[in-house]
Amino acid sequence: MRPLDVRVPLDATIALLPEILLCAGAMAVLLLNAWRHRTAADSRLAGWVAFWSLVPSALATGLLWAAGAHAAGTPFMVAVDGLRFASLAVILIITGATILLSLGYLERERLLAPEYYALVLFAAAGMMFLAGAEDLIVLFLGLEVMSISVYVLAGFNRGSVFSAEAALKYFLIGAFASAFLLYGIALVWGATGATSLAEIGRRLPGPELPLLGKLGLALLLIGLGFKIAAVPFHMWAPDVYDGSPTPITGFMATGVKAAGFLALARVLAEAFPHTAGSWQPAVAGLAIASMLLGNLVALAQRSLKRMLAYSSIAHAGYLLAALWPGTQLGLSATLVYLAGYALTTLAAFGILAVLGRGGERDVTLDSIAGLARRRPGLALALAVCMLSLLGFPGTLGFVGKWAILAGLVQQRQLVLCVVLVVTTLISAGYYLPVVMAAYMREPLAADAHDAATLSRPALVTTVLAVGLVLLLGILPSGALASALQTAATVVQDASAPLAGSVK
C-alpha cells in the first residue's frame, strides 16, 4: 500500500476510516433512539445495532493493518502504524464484549435507556483517538471524548445512590486530571515549541530534559496516571468501579486503562525516547507503589467487585513495569499483557454480573460458595479468570508476566522484577480463595445459584474470552511474535531476545 500523507484530505480519510465508521455507527444508534426508546425490545435493538456497527470499523482496521498502511514522511496528528492498528483492534474487542455483556444485564436491572449503547460507542471512539494520537492536542481531545461518555455511563443507574456517587467522583477527579494533562501539554509546548510527538522527540535530543520539559512531562504522567488508576492517583477507582453498572466497570477497567497505557507508551517512545533517565525513575516508583498497595489492600476486601477494583490497580503497576524499559521488548510485553488482562477481566466481570443483583456490590466469597456444584461451567470460567489474573502457567496472564520480566531482565532492572514476583505471590491470597470457595465450600442454600445463568450473548463472550486466554496461554508463540512485530513499528532496537525464541 502506498504511504498515506495525513495532511491530504483523501489520505486522512483513509487513515481515519475506523474512527469515522465507528462515529457513524454511534450516530445511527442515536437516530434509532429518537425513533424507538420506550421498551426493553427497543433497548435490545439499539444494543444489536451498536454491536454490528463495530464490524465496518473492524474491517477497515484489519484491511489497513494487513495492507501495511504507513505514514508518508513525518507522522502528523494521527499515527499510521502497526501499534495504532493493534490498539484499535484491542479497543474494538473490548467494546464489542461490553455491548454483549450489557444486553441481558440492562434488561434484568431495568436500565432501559437506549442511549447507553451510543455512549459506549462514543467512548470507544475517544479511546481510539487517544491510543492513536501523534499529537498532544489530539491526545487531549480523545481523552475528553472518552471521559465525558464514561462519566455518564458510570452514573447510568439513576436509581442507585452508589452509581450517582461513582459518576460524581469520576467527574470531579477526571476534570482534575484533565487540568494536569492540559497544563503539562502547555509546558511541553513551551519547552519545545511543538505538540507533535515526533517533533518533540527531535527537539529533545537528551540525555537531560530542560526544567520546563521536566515539569511538563511530570504533569503529563500525573494526568495519565489518574486515567490508568496508578498509585497515588488511584483514589477514585475503588468507589467508581464499585458503584458503576458491572459491564461498565469492566469497560473502565479494560478499555479506559488500555487506551491510557497505549497513549502513554506512544508518548514515552516517540516524544521522550532520548530522555529516559528523566522518566524511568518516576515510572518505576509508580509501578512499585501500585503493585504493593493494589495487592495488599485487595487482600482485605470482602466484596469481589472491590477486590477486582484494587486488583486493577495492581495490574496498572505491572503494566507500568512493562513500560519502564522503553524498548521494543518492553512495548511488546505491554501489548501482550494488555490483551490478556482485557480478555480475563471482561470475562470476570461478565461472570460477576450474573452472581448478584443491584450492582453486585454484595457478592462475596460466601455468595459463590459451592458454585461448581450447581453451575460447573460458570465455576470453571471464573477459576480460569482468577488463575490468569494471578499469572498461573497455561494462561495468557502467565505469558504476559513472563514477557514483562524478560523486558526488565534485558535492561537489568532487578528491583522491579523482585517486586513483581513478590506481589504476584501476595495476589494468590485473594485470587485462590475465590477458586476454593467455588469448588471446596458448601453452598449457603440448596437453590443458591439457580438464578446465575448467562444470557446467550454473555455466554458466547465469556466462552470466547476464556478460550482465548487458555489457547494463547498454551500456544503463545504467535501472539509474542506479532507483538514484537507491532512494537517494531514504533520502537527501533535490535536487542529483543524474544524475537528468536518465538520463531
Summarised one tens digit per residue, pLDDT across range 364-384 is: 888 888 888 888 999 999 999
Q: 3-state DSSP call for residue 196?
A: strand
- As a whole number of angstroms, the distance between CA 322 and CA 405 comes to 8
The average pLDDT across 470-490 equals: 92
Please report whether residue 179 resides in a domain: no
- Other residues' Cβ atoms within 10 Å of the Cβ of residue 298: 23
Number of domains in the chain: 1
462 within some domain: yes
Q: What is the pLDDT of residue 493?
A: 64
Which pTM does this prediction carry? 0.93
- Decide if pLDDT at 347 tops 90: yes
In the structure, what pLDDT confidence band is assigned to residue 419 with cuts at 50, 70 and 90? very high
Residue 494 lies in a domain: yes
The pLDDT, as a whole number, for residue 3 is 86
Check whether 470 has a pLDDT greater than 80: yes
- Give the whole-angstrom CA distance, residue 106 versus residue 102: 6
325 located within any domain? yes
Share of the chain above pLDDT 90, in %: 66
Quick check: is 470 in a domain? yes
Residues 6+ apart with CB under 8 A from 141: 129
Q: Cell 511474535, residue?
A: 481
What's the rounded Cα separation, in Å, for the pair 114 and 462?
23
Does the pLDDT of residue 411 top 80, yes or no? yes
Identify the pLDDT of residue 358: 67
Q: Does residue 249 surpass a pLDDT of 80?
A: yes
Q: Find the mean pLDDT for residues 342-371.
A: 86
Query: Is 281 within a domain?
Result: yes
CA distance 2 to 173: 44
pLDDT of 409 above 90 = yes
Segment 167-219, tens digit of pLDDT:
999 999 999 899 999 999 999 999 999 999 999 989 988 788 889 999 999 99
Which residues constitute the domain of residue 323? 277-503
Question: Does some domain include residue 123?
Answer: no
Res 1 pLDDT > 80: no
Q: pLDDT of 68-120, one tens digit each?
A: 888 888 888 999 999 999 999 999 999 999 999 999 888 888 887 778 999 99
pLDDT at residue 501 in the model: 40
Question: For residue 248, with 0-12 CB atoms within 10 Å meaning exposed, 13-18 middle and 19 or more buried, which class applies?
Answer: buried
Q: State the cell numbers at 149.
A: 461518555
Examine residue 133 and state whether it is found in any structural domain, yes or no. Answer: no
pLDDT at 502 over 70: no
**Above 60 in pLDDT, residue 495?**
no
pLDDT of residue 361: 77
